[in-house]
Amino acid sequence: MRHVHGRAWRAGAALAALLTWTGLLAGAAGCTSDSTGLGGVFGKPPAPEEAIRISPGDGDKAVRPGRKLSVRVPEGHLESVRVVKSQDASETPVPGRISADGRRWEPDDPRLALAARYTVDAVALDGRGRRSARHAAFRTYVPEERFIGYVGPEHRSTVGTGMIVSLEFSREITDRAAVERAVRVSAEPAVDIRPHWFGRDRLDFRPRYYWKPGTEVTVDLRLRDVEGAPGVYGLQHKKVSFTVGRHQVSVVDAAEKTMKVRRDGALLATVPVTAGAAKTPTYNGKMVITEMLDVTRMNSRTVGFGGEYDIPDVPHAVRLTGSGTFLHGNYWAPGDVFGRTNVSHGCVGLRDVKGGGADTPAGWFFDRSLVGDVVEVVRSKDKKVAPDNGLGGWNTSWAKWRAGSAVR
């Protein structure tokens, strides 16, 4: 009995000592709770904003696109990170990855979208195995000024082999390199395609030589949120694609007053024409068809010739330059001028009838042409057409064309 009582007493004394020791620790550390259930024995866990640090911060507004989105932990490792971008009434997960050491998450694309709300949900384990979770949200800057690029040719069109991809911007671009990097033009089969700037509002792309028939070309505009000028950001993220058709080049000899039409190297026809008169000659050089109109009005006042003519129903009008050079049907001139006399105000005229005839030279050529076909004028008593007048870029050497890029 005395032996048993002694053992019980020693056990009770040990339990009392343990409780006293634990109480002293509790009194020193204060009232705490953690995943171990031992009160404050292992210290107080850090606040969520310290355990998981998110930038930009929770509640931030008007965050500029130059800020970097990141999630990091000072110790331990991230278990999961989910980021969602809400923009234009749609939600999109933001792809990213956790670093090899588990300390940082960053998005695959470092650029923040404008006019968007981002939400971040992250879970991490600290160095002592304690789990923390954090939710944060911020909004990005909403710009007052935007720009877009108008693309030619049209989406899903079939064009001639001389087509030049041309973008005209709605605002002047001062950071041309940034905008140029945001536009990608690719082809299948692949070919070297280079950009060239004309001023601050136009960017053209072409290969060294004419496209091969059957080539598929894709223009990928990634202009959204690109700062093209101070405080002016792009609005578009779209793709335009087109197919290159057969190869047709027509050569107008202004001295002979003829046009030879060749397709895939074979001569289709030699057509009599009337080119620009001595005082109003036609430009020399390679010009690309950019527009085809069954009928259009031509008024001399719109091209700086005063009131010399105003024809309301010019048939089979094929635009060659932005300044107003057309290859078109002509029903008002005597039939004997075609192939004999140059009488136009700079255009190239083909015989036609009022209302446009399908079986006339003008109707024949119109029906066999595509936007993107090349019409080259030779032996005219005028200068060569400027490379930015319409799609005149084929008149520029490859070396000079490449030098027109803003990206070095």
> How far is residue 363's CA from residue 351's CA, in Å, rounded to a whole number?
9
**Of 139, 157, 190, which one is at a domain's C-terminal end?**
139
**Separation of alpha carbons 27 and 36, rounded Å:** 18
pLDDT for res 1: 38
The alpha carbon dihedral of 289, 407, 169, 236 has a sign of positive
User: How many Cα atoms sit within 13 Å of 367 on the Cβ side?
Assistant: 9
Tell me: do 156 and 115 sit in the same domain: no
Q: How far is CA 49 from the centre of its chain?
A: 38
CA–CA gap between residue 392 and residue 31 (Å, rounded): 81
Is residue 5 one of the residues assigned to a domain?
no
User: Could you give the maximum distance between any two Cα atoms of the chain, in Å?
Assistant: 144
Q: Could you tell me the sign of the dihedral formed by the alpha carbons of 304, 307, 309, 314, in that order?
A: positive
Q: Which two tokens mark 333?
A: 């001139």
Task: Give every residue of the chain whose pLDDT is below 50, as ranges.
Answer: 1-42
Measured from the Cβ of residue 51, the count of other Cβ atoms closer than 10 Å reads: 21
- Same-domain check for residues 276 and 365: yes
- Going through 50-182 in order, the beta strands assigned E by DSSP cover 53-55, 70-72, 77-87, 90-93, 96-98, 104-107, 117-125, 131-139, 145-147, 149-152, 157-159, 165-169
Q: Domain containing 186: what range? A: 145-245
Residue 32: predicted pLDDT: 33
Q: Is residue 168 within 8 Å of residue 179, measured between CB atoms?
A: no
The verdict on 77 and 153 lying in the same domain is no
Q: Apex CA 295: angle with CA 292 and CA 297, to 5°?
A: 110
- Distance CA(303)–CA(264), nearest Å, equals 35
Residue with tokens 């050491």: 101
- What is the tens place of the pLDDT at every residue in 145-183? 999 999 999 999 999 999 999 999 999 999 999 999 999
Give residue 310's pLDDT. 85
Question: Which of 229, 245, 261 is where one domain is finished?
Answer: 245
> Per the omega criterion (within 30 degrees of 0), is the bond before 213 cis?
no
Domain count for the chain, please give it: 3
Structure tokens of 81? 């990170």
Instruction: Examine residue 400 and state whether it is found in any structural domain, yes or no.
Output: no
**In a shared domain, residues 358 and 253:** yes
Same domain, 265 and 360: yes
User: In CATH, what number is assigned to the domain containing residue 117?
Assistant: 2.60.40.3780
Do 381 and 286 lie in a common domain? yes
Note whether 268 and 361 are same-domain residues.
yes
User: Hey, how many other C-beta atoms are within 10 angstroms of the C-beta on 107?
Assistant: 19
Q: In what order do the strands lie in the sheet with 326-330?
A: 291-299, 310-319, 326-330, 348-351
Whether 114 contacts 33, CB under 8 Å:
no
Contacts of 7 (CB under 8 A, 6+ apart): none
DSSP E strands in 17-95: the ranges are 53-55, 70-72, 77-87, 90-93
Question: Does a structural domain hold residue 106?
Answer: yes
Domain termination residue (choose one: 107, 139, 171): 139
CA distance 290 to 322: 9
3 state SS for 254-298: CCCCEEEEEECCEEEEEEECECECCCCCCCEEEEECCEEEEEEEE
pLDDT of the residue at 21: 37
**How many separate helices (H) and strands (E) can be counted in the chain?**
5, 28
Q: Do residues 330 and 262 share a domain?
A: yes
**Residue 408 located in a structural domain:** no
Active site residues: 328, 347
- In this structure, are 203 and 279 located in the same domain? no
Query: Which two structure tokens, joined as six digits, stand for 32?
Result: 């705490």
Residues 273 and 389 both lie in one domain = yes
Separation of alpha carbons 148 and 112, rounded Å: 19
Q: Which two tokens stand for residue 82?
A: 């989910």
Question: Does 97 reside within a domain?
Answer: yes
